[in-house]
Amino acid sequence: MSLKKQIDAYNVQKEAKLPSDVLALMEQTTNELIAQHIKDKALQIGAKISNFSLQNHNDEYVELADLLNKGPVIISFYRGNWCPYCNLELKALNDYLPQFKTHSAQLIAISPQLPDETLSTAQKNDLEFNVLSDINNKVAEQFGLLFTLDKRIQALYSQFGIDFEKYYGDKSYKLPLPATYVINQKGIITYAFLNEDYTLRAEPIDVMAALELEQY
């Protein structure tokens, strides 16, 4: 099943579960975020990526340059393990991992979550790739993905029991747009999917197609 079909199925459940005013607020604030055109200012295909080093879920530091020495790198920016769309996407990418490896591609996921929460993400989703903690969103900011969660959504998530201080170590409510990139061994972006609408995610098969183009 495609990731989109999985997300569509989740959306049906969400719409049946949540009150109409909550759904309307989510849609309104998403549309307002879209109107900010953040993704248009973020790094796009053709941009060169600066090296970075982040701690993974096993308390090890992972450096982009080291990964690129082995092959292209797939980067998935996600909001947190409290986000059902993020979990669906990470699981879908994990399922494609054997195919990505046929192109010597390294897959990493990045969020501003604290290391303990990053570990929880990896364990909960049975992930077999590096899940990295981008504390204070330094790498997400380099990519131009950073935004501040709307105060109405902050309050709503608090009602849902989502404790941002627990997940991120602060209450800045700054998050990256969900985004997926393919970086070639020269450090150049060859594929980019990013959208202010957090319910829209890159299809793993499209990521695979981008890797296949690298051979030509």
pLDDT digits (tens, 9 = 90+) for 56-107: 998 999 999 999 999 999 999 999 999 999 999 999 999 999 999 999 999 9
> Which amino acid is it at 66?
D
Residue 173: name the closest of 140, 147, 195, 197 by CA: 147
> 82, 83, 134, 145: which is closest to 108 by C-alpha?
134
Residue 192 corresponds to which tokens in the numbers above?
């980019």
pLDDT in tens, 6-32: 999 999 999 999 999 999 999 999 999
Entry pTM: 0.95
Is residue 173 within 8 A of residue 149, CB to CB? The reply is yes
For residues 191-198, average pLDDT: 96
Would you give the DSSP letter of residue 202? -
Picking from 198, 147, 150, 155, the residue whose alpha carbon sits closest to that of residue 174 is 147
